[in-house]
Amino acid sequence: MNTKSYFFQSFAIVALAFVAFIGFKQILPDKIFSDSKVDSKNVLIDSLLLESVAKDSLSLKSDSIEESERRLGEQKIVYDASEGIEFPSETFDNYKGYQYLISFYEKLYQLEQNPQRHVRIAYYGDSMTDGDLIVQDVRNNYQDRFGGNGVGFVSITSESAASRGSVKATYSKNWKTQSYLNVKRPASPFGVNGHVFFANDQTNPTWVQYEAGLPKHTTTLDNPTLFYGRSSKRGNVNFIIGKDTLKKSLTPNNLVNTLKVTSGSIKAFKANFIHADSIPIYGFNFDNGIGVHVDNFSQRGNSGLPISMFDASVMQAFDNNLKYDLIVLHYGTNVLNYGTKNYFWYEKGMTKTVNKIKESFPGVSILIVSTADKSTKYDLEMKTDSAVVPLMKAQKKYALETESGFVNLYTLMGGDGSMVKWVDESPAKANKDYTHFNQRGAKAIGNLLYSQLNNGYEQYKILRQKRETGVRPKAIRKPKADSVSVEKDSVNE
């Protein structure tokens, strides 16, 4: 055997492969060889997203997808009256689904008539809402108009705690954290924030400390209340407020338990957990009990699919305390990077997610916020990523299918090429990753979101006034061949 000849043959093959790679790299699209570097620090992986992509059904050919979208675009969406209120018909292209937000709008109307009432929103998102970006501006708009103080529900630990301005949180490093992003079978059920925490160290103190933020409406910690889960063992927690220490017991008898730190408003406090290692801890809620409150449940790397793992009975227990009226699902950033334009698998998965929310929070209104524009380099030029529009349409489809409201964030910010404009503006409103907004851009997006929701509310009030003044609602029509007729249960007023 000529060992030397085999060596040179192997070397020649490797060399030819390398030369071929260099040659093909010059003619293949730039997108394959992105110049941007991915910072792996603090990047979390949505395990359900990876599984769904691995099982991606590519049996649908592109022409069948296009034909399906063409037929859908030609259909007219005609609503049946709900409690005498019927929003105008829509097409798929301009779909907003205000009809499905009637329950939420009625709660806002009742609050406007009686400022002692309350309305609550849960805003689920990914890195777009990290550090309370976007959400804090939606919250501020609502609290400016309808009243309300408090930042809402805050987790024990968070990867964005240091960058969040609406509340300052610090915590010991010995918390054990389980997230619905990468744990399928948690030691105890996930909380409404998609996490569960354990004070898992009996040797060293396990603590969390909160301080009120600087923005208006969040300058105090209102009625601070601890939420924790069920356990066979009891524990204790010491709340340190200024120079005072309040010693309280944890009695984890129910699926979800609450413990008020103190009544009224304070500026800061520290919670030391003692012999509480077996008790699931979820977080603290801060609100003054009236007006509008908006909870930010952001999670980097989330596709929205993990919400389908919620324990409905536990969520209902949270809802009994927090009483949600609207749940927002703002996802898409982490779904664009997998080389596919067929998002049927994502439609299917997110339909399951929305149905889980309906089971978990009976009667709640649901709003889907689509992906924003994102730019990718094609032939040395930054352009809208080719997957953005297909994903946005998929999100609109499952919003319509699940009878949810819809915000087309892609068109709201300007449509094709808008992310490049937001990055290149002076001052810039988005980061150089051509994906995420900076604080200036996030505020603009929050204002745009609020504006669309408020536009629907103003239309609702006009329709409601017509009903109250005796103007007969339009007769319920039978759908035409080119129409989609949708129904909705009566609104509980």
CATH of the domain at 483: 3.40.50.1110
Is 36 inside a domain boundary? no
pLDDT in tens, 244-280: 999 999 999 999 999 999 999 999 999 999 999 999 9
Phi/psi class of residue 377: alpha, beta or left (left: φ > 0; alpha: ψ in -120 to 50)?
beta
Number of domains into which the chain is organized: 2
Is 24 inside a domain boundary? no
Residue 132 burial (C-beta neighbours within 10 Å; 0-12, 13-18, 19+): buried
Q: Answer yes or no: do 124 and 169 share one domain.
A: no
CA distance 82 to 101: 11
Confidence of residue 487 (pLDDT cuts 50, 70, 90): very low
Q: Answer yes or no: do 200 and 278 share one domain.
A: yes
User: Which of these three, 257, 288, 319, is where a domain ends?
Assistant: 288
Considering only 56-60, 175-179, 389-393, which range has the smallest mean pLDDT? Answer: 56-60
According to the model, what pLDDT value does residue 451 have? 98
pLDDT in tens, 205-254: 899 999 999 999 999 999 999 999 999 999 999 999 999 999 999 999 99
pLDDT in tens, 325-381: 999 999 999 898 766 789 999 999 999 999 999 999 999 999 999 999 999 999 989
Q: Answer yes or no: do 306 and 245 share one domain.
A: no
According to the model, what pLDDT value does residue 21 have? 44
Give the torsion sign (CA, 164, 170, 172, 177): negative
Residues 194/179, Cβ–Cβ less than 8 Å = yes
According to the model, what pLDDT value does residue 340 have? 74
CA distance 242 to 245: 8
Is 11 inside a domain boundary? no
Q: Answer yes or no: do 425 and 451 share one domain.
A: yes
Q: Answer yes or no: do 411 and 312 share one domain.
A: yes
Q: Answer yes or no: do 258 and 298 share one domain.
A: no
Check whether 473 has a pLDDT greater than 80: no
Confidence of residue 442 (pLDDT cuts 50, 70, 90): very high
According to the model, what pLDDT value does residue 67 have? 63
Q: Answer yes or no: do 99 and 131 share one domain.
A: yes
Q: Answer yes or no: do 273 and 184 share one domain.
A: yes
Q: Answer yes or no: do 296 and 401 share one domain.
A: yes
Q: Answer yes or no: do 279 and 418 share one domain.
A: no
Q: Between the CA of residue 190 and those of 255, 259, 282, 315, 337, what are the distances in Å?
A: 11, 18, 8, 9, 27
pLDDT in tens, 175-190: 999 999 989 899 999 9
Is 106 inside a domain boundary? yes
Q: Which whole number is the average pLDDT over 17-38?
A: 41
Domain span holding position 216: 152-288
> Mean pLDDT across the chain, nearest whole number?
86
User: Which of these three, 264, 288, 312, is where a domain ends?
Assistant: 288
Is 30 inside a domain boundary? no
CATH number at residue 231: 2.60.120.1360
Nearest to 141 by CA among 298, 331, 289, 294: 294
Is 34 inside a domain boundary? no
State pTM to two decimals: 0.85
Residues 98/452, Cβ–Cβ less than 8 Å = no
Q: Between the CA of residue 436 and those of 300, 371, 374, 428, 429, what are the distances in Å?
A: 12, 11, 8, 12, 9
Q: Answer yes or no: do 276 and 425 share one domain.
A: no
Nearest to 209 by CA among 244, 255, 161, 163: 161
Q: Between the CA of residue 98 and those of 208, 299, 359, what are the distances in Å?
A: 40, 27, 21
Q: Answer yes or no: do 384 and 458 share one domain.
A: yes
Considering only 102-111, 171-180, 338-347, 419-428, which range has the smallest mean pLDDT? Answer: 338-347
Is 336 inside a domain boundary? yes
User: Which of these three, 243, 270, 288, is where a domain ends?
Assistant: 288
- Name every residue whose Cβ is closer than 8 Å to that of residue 362 and which is 6 or more positions away in sequence: 316, 319
CA distance 349 to 25: 36
According to the model, what pLDDT value does residue 13 have? 52
Strands 281-286 and 152-155: antiparallel
Is 131 inside a domain boundary? yes
